[in-house]
């Protein structure tokens, strides 16, 4: 301890040295709080994770929904004639779930008419009816997956949706209404059978076409209430 002959006030300030980070050749000045945390081992609190490109996908892509693909499959089902030039096998070979589900739910909505139980019946018949067709196709030697049958049966409900507003207009004319119903069922059954019944069935085609036809008759009965 050194005593000075004179006394003086010692005053001043301590400046915090600038600490800079070298990030890719660029220097970034840190704040005092940042420096304080880093010096005491809490720098991990300041770390920022890079955004993962997988987390920034659009919602439709996350759910594996391709609207263009669904629209193309709808056209393939509604226009089943080979001369129109559509690659209709994409409905069977590239099955999806959301498109057929949307078609089945839409058919359920127009089938309500106050009978809300019909919605659960339509979805149940879609799932278990497709399972029956799948099992029958496998027994007959067809190389088809359950997902493919589920997609084809679901999409092929579209003809019944198309004739639904027509039935509302001609409902009072019994003969015309019956003909339109038969046309819709044949349209739906032909569209589904032409996709599911391949050459591997050969002479056994009627054994698979017939239950498909009956399935769409049952779908139509759920809509009309018959």
Residues whose CB falls within 8 Å of the CB of residue 53, separated by 6 or more in sequence, listed in order: none
Q: What is the pLDDT of residue 124?
A: 87
In the chain, which residues have pLDDT < 70? 1-31, 33-34, 36-38, 40-57, 59-60, 62-63, 113-117, 171, 200-203, 224-226
| DSSP at 84 | G
Instruction: Identify the pLDDT of residue 25.
Output: 46
| Residue partners of 94: CB distance under 8 A and separation at least 6 | 69
Specify if 146 maps to a domain. Answer: yes
Residue 39 counted as domain residue: no
Structure tokens at 63: 């759910």
In a domain, 43, yes or no: no
DSSP assignment of 183-220, as one string?
Answer: HHHHHHHHHHHHHH--GGGGGGHHHHHHHHHHHHHHHH
As a dihedral over the C-alpha atoms of residue 33, residue 38, residue 41, residue 43, rounded to 10 degrees, the angle is 90
Domains in the chain, number: 1
Q: Is residue 105 part of a domain?
A: yes
Strands 20-23 and 26-29, by their bridges, are antiparallel
What does the alpha-carbon distance between residue 156 and residue 80 come to, in Å, rounded to a whole number? 10
Cβ atoms of 185 and 213 within 8 Å: the answer is yes
Tell me the C-alpha to C-alpha distance, in Å, between residue 45 and each of 67, 108, 128: 42, 53, 54
* pLDDT at res. 128: 92
CB atoms within 10 A of CB 34: 16
131-142 CB burial, b ≥16 within 10 A, e <16? eebbebbeebeb
In a domain, 205, yes or no: yes
Domain with 166, as residue range(s), is 67-224
Closest C-alpha among 158, 156, 148 to residue 198: 148
- pLDDT in the model for residue 21: 47
Strand-pairing partners, residue 26, are 23
What is the CA angle 51-53-57, rounded to 5?
Answer: 120
Rounded to the nearest 10°, the torsion over CA 29, 30, 32, 38 is -150
pLDDT at 54: 56
Is 106 part of a structural domain of the chain?
yes
Q: Which long-range contacts (CB under 8 A, 24 or more apart) does 141-147 make?
A: 141/200, 141/201, 141/204, 142/196, 142/197, 142/198, 142/200, 142/201, 142/208, 143/198, 143/200, 144/92, 144/196, 144/198, 145/95, 147/95, 147/97
Query: 19 lies in a domain?
Result: no
Instruction: Report if residue 121 sits inside a domain.
Output: yes
pTM beyond cutoff 0.85 = no
């Amino acid at each position: 301890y050194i005593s000075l002959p004179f006394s003086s006030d010692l005053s001043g300030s301590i400046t915090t040295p600038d600490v800079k980070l070298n990030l890719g050749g660029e220097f970034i000045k840190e704040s005092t709080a940042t420096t304080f945390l880093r010096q005491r081992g809490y720098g991990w609190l300041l770390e920022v994770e890079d955004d993962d490109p997988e987390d920034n996908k659009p919602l439709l892509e996350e759910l594996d929904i391709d609207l263009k693909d669904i629209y193309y499959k709808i056209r393939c089902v509604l226009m089943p004639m080979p001369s129109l030039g559509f690659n209709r096998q994409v409905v069977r070979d590239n099955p999806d779930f959301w498109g057929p589900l949307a078609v089945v739910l839409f058919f359920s909505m127009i089938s309500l008419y106050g009978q809300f139980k019909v919605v659960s019946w339509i979805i149940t018949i879609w799932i278990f009816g497709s399972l029956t067709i799948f099992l029958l196709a496998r027994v007959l030697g067809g190389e088809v997956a359950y997902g493919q049958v589920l997609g084809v049966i679901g999409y092929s409900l579209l003809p019944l949706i198309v004739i639904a507003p027509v039935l509302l207009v001609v409902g009072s004319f019994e003969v015309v209404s019956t003909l339109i119903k038969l046309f819709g069922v044949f349209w739906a059954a032909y569209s589904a059978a032409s996709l599911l019944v391949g050459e591997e069935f050969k002479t056994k085609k009627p054994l698979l076409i017939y239950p498909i036809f009956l399935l769409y008759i049952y779908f139509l009965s759920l809509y009309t209430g018959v």
